[in-house]
Amino acid sequence: MATASQAIAAGSYQTRVVIREHDELGDLAASLNAMASALEEAEQRRVHLIGDVAHEIRTPLATVRGYLEGLADGVVEPSPELFAQLHDETGRIQRLVDDLQELSRVESGRITLHTRPIAPMRLIDAAASRLASAFDEKNVRLSVERRGALPDVLADEDRTIQVLTNLLSNALRYTPGEGEVRLGAAREDQFIRFSVRDTGTGIPAEHLPRVFDRFYRVDPARSRAMGGSGIGLTIARSLVESQGGTISAESAGSDQGSLFGFTLPIAH
């Protein structure tokens, strides 16, 4: 076990101790193996995250560099349209950096939540008003379902509106013109369930378990073209869970629309 612990400390996380006896030393060896497994999994996540970040930054950066080299060589003519495209690409990089910073703060617990009793419809109306113009611009109907009086929910107002705004933005991104997005809330035992239902492109069943993973996209090329950073839903999940709730996604399949919902506890 001493040799194994030294190997693990040196970064050899795949090291395991062979358990021969089921006594105190065997329990200690099992604990050491469990620790090594956890460290190995964390290291794999770290390596994958670095690779994902590099991949996400490489695409817009390559576009910017290509145009700049063309301008420098005189093979590309400067134009307002070109500068607008360069601005959009640098904006994608900035959004990715901002979202990564936000995700790091949320997942490490370095955010302060100010939870208090608040009316669920106040949160819904605030999120809907923020994106009303974007829905009008794309000609997608945004409707708010009102189901009578609901008890107050215990939530951080700003962070919950952030989650709702994220889900609404995601629904708008994948809902074509003339479509509809419905936003609502209902009581579910000792929780309030917020829901965002759209008539958009939907999600195939095999992708549903991973939609909240970092950088996971059902259609990578299409998602990047639409401007998503790939970690907005991951941030939403972390914010909901840090307030004692859960978040989920449902869809009947491609072109069948999607339903994203999350719960927060009722204030007592």
pLDDT in tens, the chain (268 residues): 888 888 888 888 888 988 888 888 888 989 988 998 988 887 877 777 777 777 778 878 888 999 999 999 999 899 999 999 899 889 888 888 888 888 888 877 788 899 999 999 999 999 999 999 999 999 999 999 987 789 999 999 999 999 999 999 999 999 999 999 999 999 999 999 999 999 999 999 999 988 998 777 666 555 555 555 578 899 999 999 999 999 999 999 888 999 999 999 999 8
Sheet of 247-251: strand order equals 141-144, 180-188, 191-198, 258-265, 247-251
Beta bridge partners of 141: 180
170 Cβ neighbours under 8 A, 6+ residues apart: 196, 228, 232, 233, 260
Calculate ∠ Cα 182-180-235, nearest 5°: 55
With contact defined as beta carbons under 8 Å apart, do 68 and 82 qualify?
A: no
Write down the pLDDT at residue 219: 62
* Alpha-carbon span 121 to 128, nearest angstrom: 10
Q: Is 57 helix (H, G, I), strand (E, B) or coil?
A: helix
Q: Which long-range contacts (CB under 8 A, 24 or more apart) does 166-170 make?
A: 166/232, 166/233, 166/235, 166/236, 167/196, 167/236, 167/260, 167/262, 168/127, 168/128, 168/131, 168/142, 168/196, 169/131, 169/134, 169/232, 170/196, 170/228, 170/232, 170/233, 170/260
Write down the pLDDT at residue 148: 78
* Alpha-carbon span 233 to 25, nearest angstrom: 43
List pLDDT tens digits, range 214-240. Answer: 777 666 555 555 555 578 899 999 999
150 Cβ neighbours under 8 A, 6+ residues apart: 119, 120, 121, 185, 186, 187, 192
